[in-house]
Amino acid sequence: MRFYAVSGSAAQQRTDCAIVGLYESGTLSVAAAQLDAALGGRIARLVKRRDARGKAGEVLLLDVEAGHCERVLVVGLGKKDSFGRKQYKKALVAAATALARTGARDAVSFLSIEPVTETDAYYRGRLAAEAVGGALYRVPAIRSSRQPPAPPLKSFGIAVSHKDQKPEAERGLEHGRGIAAGAALTRDLANLPANVCTPGYLAKQARELARAYRSVTAEVLDEPELKRLKMGAFLSVTAGTEEPAKLIVLRYRGGAAGDAPVVLVGKGVTFDSGGISLKQPPGMDEMKFDMTGAASVFGAVKAAAEIGLPLNVVGVVPACENMPSGRATKPGDVVRSMSGQTIEVINTDAEGRLILCDALTYARRLKPAVVVDVATLTGACVIALGAHTSAVMSSDDDLAAELTAAGRRAEDRAWHMPMAEEYHDQLKSNFADFANACGREGGAITAACFLAKFTEGLRWAHMDIAGTAYLSGSHKGSTGRPVPLLMDFLIHRKP
């Protein structure tokens, strides 16, 4: 997909399809009104007849002969007084989804984010490219029948009101294109079944990224090296499976050689059966998504390389399966982490924190400016925040605020949850330094408290994406989140 910016009125634009907005009140957007005048009041007539109601996400495709465009897509914007980033992105997703079913090869959007801010042109471009890229994404289906052909849409423009906004809009479009490419990689990896996407497959994909981009290098540590590093917690999770575990280190070099990197740590459990603390069958297939944290780290590194982010970023991905077997770790076993601290494994299904704690200890060697770990860590997080908002927990309130602000700007929301000394008591053990699991109360928070025992002295935040990483039901699949948030966070960091 090629993205571009244009200036000028909707009535003059040469394109296969002009996209204009209509509010629920029946008010035409400025561009829709301009086009309507050129079309002799055709859009207004549709509104008057109540054929077009402006409901959010509603689309109406008109064939037009006048002017330079062949089609007009009228997109419902919902209520005018609550219109913002969320509705803007939603309208573009609806438009792109409808466009993909037409023969249009090119389209230009005249939608705007209101109220207009100084960064309007940048985010209009970025969110548009992310929305269009996301809407055109197709699951890499493994089917016996032929794949449906790709939609003919090849280029997508956004219109800005003044020529001098074009550079900002183009910068936003370029960033959005890169972020969408990263999120598509995240979705591809997460959507693959666990019999394809194994730790070894993730390692291969890391080497693939390093081959594709000069700015990226990949290093893969195998089990003998993990043993040498004394990663007893990580190794205890992989003990039950035949698939070899990998620790994948992806380096993106965009800053100066000596610049301290931002380290992103991603949970890469390619299948979480629960281990000896076996999960219930309903929904167990969805535990192939338990490597989405890892996939979002891959996606962020790819996006960074695509847009040439001027920072150093290192992705650290502990990848393994969590399976029961005669060799599997048992509830009550005590393991020693790389940090030297011992852990009583109360529940083998609390495996994410066990692989992350050793990865976080490893991250210290990289002398990071900041460490952010991303994980589908707890069912409790899904109960707390549902499917729309990721959780952020941190010992550093400023860092948590940076991440939640990035989520608001990128329209990839996250919420700062508390993490205080009181919660740590729940992880007490009679047999080891602490336990890996405890009661259900505050489960997302106690998981973060567990990780905090390994991040002392680091500038660190934890993101629990258990609710936001993928959808269930008929739309089952990876969402590509939180790649937009992570990228916004990185883009706003001072080098």
User: Which of the residues 354 through 393 are near Zn ion (CB under 5 A)?
Assistant: none
Residues 286-305: x/- map of binding to Zn ion (CB under 5 A)? ----x---------------
- Residues ≥6 apart with Cβ < 8 Å to 312: 251, 252, 253, 254, 255, 256, 259, 260, 261, 262
User: How many chain residues are in contact with ligand BES, going by CB under 6 A?
Assistant: 16
- At closest approach, how far in Å is the CB of 349 from Zn ion? 7
Q: Is 241 in the site for ligand BES (CB under 6 A)?
A: no
Distance CA 26, CA 60 (A): 14
Q: Which does 437 bind (CB under 5 to 8 A by kind): ligand BES, Zn ion, Mn ion, none?
A: ligand BES
Q: Please identify, among the stretches 38-46, 160-168, 221-229, 343-351, the one whose residues bind ligand BES according to the rule CB under 6 A.
A: 343-351
Alpha-carbon gap, residue 355 to 298, rounded angstroms = 17
Nearest-angstrom CA–CA distance, 177 and 183: 10
Structure tokens at 138: 């197709």
Catalytic, out of 124, 177, 353, 409:
353
Dist. CA 487–CA 477, nearest whole Å? 21
464 part of the interface to ligand BES, by CB under 6 A: no
- Residue 320 phi/psi, 5-degree rounding, is -165, 175
Instruction: Map tokens 């005249």 to a residue.
Output: 110
CA–CA dist 368, 259 (Å, integer): 9
Residue pointed to by tokens 């929305």: 131
| Residue 350 binds ligand BES (CB under 6 A) | yes
Q: d(Cα 346, Cα 333) in Å, to the nearest integer?
A: 8
Q: How far is CA 58 from the centre of its chain?
A: 26
For residue 275, state whether it binds Zn ion (rule: CB under 5 A). Answer: no
The question of whether 353 is a catalytic residue gets the answer yes
By beta-carbon proximity to ligand BES, the closer residue of 280 and 474 is 280
CB 66 within 8 A of CB 101: no
Of 110 and 201, the one with the shorter C-beta distance to Zn ion is 201
> Quick one: what does residue 378 bind among ligand BES, Zn ion, Mn ion, none, with the CB cut-off 5 to 8 Å set by partner type?
ligand BES
Residue where the block lists tokens 């219930």: 280
Which among ligand BES, Zn ion, Mn ion, none contacts residue 270 (Cβ within 5 to 8 A by kind)? none
Nearest approach in angstroms of CB 465 to ligand BES is 9
* Closest residue by beta carbon to ligand BES: 379
Query: Does residue 352 belong to the site contacting Zn ion (CB under 5 A)?
Result: yes
The residue among 218 and 291 lying less far from Zn ion, judged by its C-beta, is 291
Would you please indicate which residues are annotated as catalytic (active-site) residues?
279, 353
